[in-house]
Amino acid sequence: MTSPAFADIAFRPRALVWTAAFLALLAALLFPLIMLAARAGRDVTIWEQAGVIAVATIAVQLLRRATIREVTGRPTLGWLRELAIGMALGTALMLAPALFLAIGGWVDFRPTGTGASGLLQAVLLMAGVAIAEELLFRGVLFQRLIDAFGVWPAQLLLAGLFVLTHLGNPGMEGATKVWAGVNIFAASLLFGMAYLRTRSLALPIGLHFMANVTQGIVLGFGVSGASEPSLLAPGFLVQADWLTGGRFGLEASLPGLVAVLGLLLLVWRWRRRPLGPIAGS
């Protein structure tokens, strides 16, 4: 008997043509940018990456004779409301495990005195990361893979790819690599489910953005191993990275994983939109 979760699986090869076209356009745009940046002695910025992903997305949609709002969702007050809901949920997603660790006496926090300018730059960076990654992982690629294979195969494929893109991050080694890998995989499922329940990128962008801001800029934990200017600095009172996440961040901890899985269950049970194929492959 077929599991209900996989009942929508059906191979639609035409959708893979658009998937390949998107990846080819992305490569054609990104490689010259990387070479130009290397010649200038700098890295490609996250906002440049977001721009390249946006251009590739628009190009594919034009070739498909479809609108960009099919990918991003209709720009209405409802879109902004979903963005705000996502930001609130992203905040709670990181505050919950941090509060648990503080109450348990495993982590304490102290103010850093970081200036507004440094914090603003960090917030802009996190905004770029959320927009770039959600447009890439929940945009054309995800939506056409849903058309090609169905919802859950697409979810699992993109979650695996999401993990692969984080394997080179600082601190991705030993037990942290396992904890972080599982947590990042679950987070991708969460962001994907946020898109599926709304057919809009507003909710996953809000979730992703404020989870990173709260974890890194407010609480001072690492964000996938990267350190950013923050309002607070955590002091680790136990040497147990599986519990606190260590330098990698809460996304490499057991409390962080429980929070992600709990929110994933909550969003999954939010039956606003059905988990069906996206029309128009």
- What are the pLDDT digits (tens) for 160-215? 999 999 998 988 989 999 999 999 999 999 999 999 999 999 999 999 999 999 99
Residue with tokens 């992600």: 260
Rounded Cα distance, 111 and 122, in Å: 17
Beta bridge partners of 110: 233
Tell me how far apart the alpha carbons of residues 70 and 274 are, in angstroms, rounded to a whole number.
16
**Considering only CA atoms, which of 182, 186, 179, 181 is closest in space to residue 244?**
179
Q: What pLDDT shows up at residue 270?
A: 79
Strand-pair partners of 234: 109
pLDDT at 5: 46
Give SS3 for 177: helix
What pLDDT shows up at residue 271?
A: 67
Q: Is residue 249 part of a domain?
A: yes
The domain in which residue 143 lies consists of 4-268
DSSP letters, 211-271, are HHIIIIIIT---BTTB----SEEEEE-S--HHHH-TTT-GGGSHHHHHHHHHHHHHHHT--
Whether residue 281 lies inside any domain: the answer is no
Joined together, the tokens standing for residue 51 give 């721009």
**Residue 276: inside a domain:** no
Number of domains the chain is built from: 1
pTM (whole model) above 0.85:
yes
In a domain, 100, yes or no: yes
Q: Does residue 279 lie within any of the structural domains?
A: no
Which helix (H) or strand (E) segment holds residue 164: the answer is helix 151-164
Q: How many residues does the chain have?
A: 281
Chunk the chain into consecutive blocks of 10 residues (it has 281) and report each block's average pLDDT, rounded to whole numbers.
48 82 96 93 95 97 94 92 97 98 97 94 97 97 94 96 93 92 97 96 98 97 93 95 94 97 93 57 54
Phi–psi pair at 148, nearest 5 degrees: -75, -45
Is 273 domain-assigned? no
DSSP summary character for residue 277? P
- pLDDT, position 277: 54
Residue 280 lies in a domain: no
CB–CB of 137/188 below 8 Å?
yes
Q: How far apart are CA 86 and CA 101, in angstroms?
A: 23
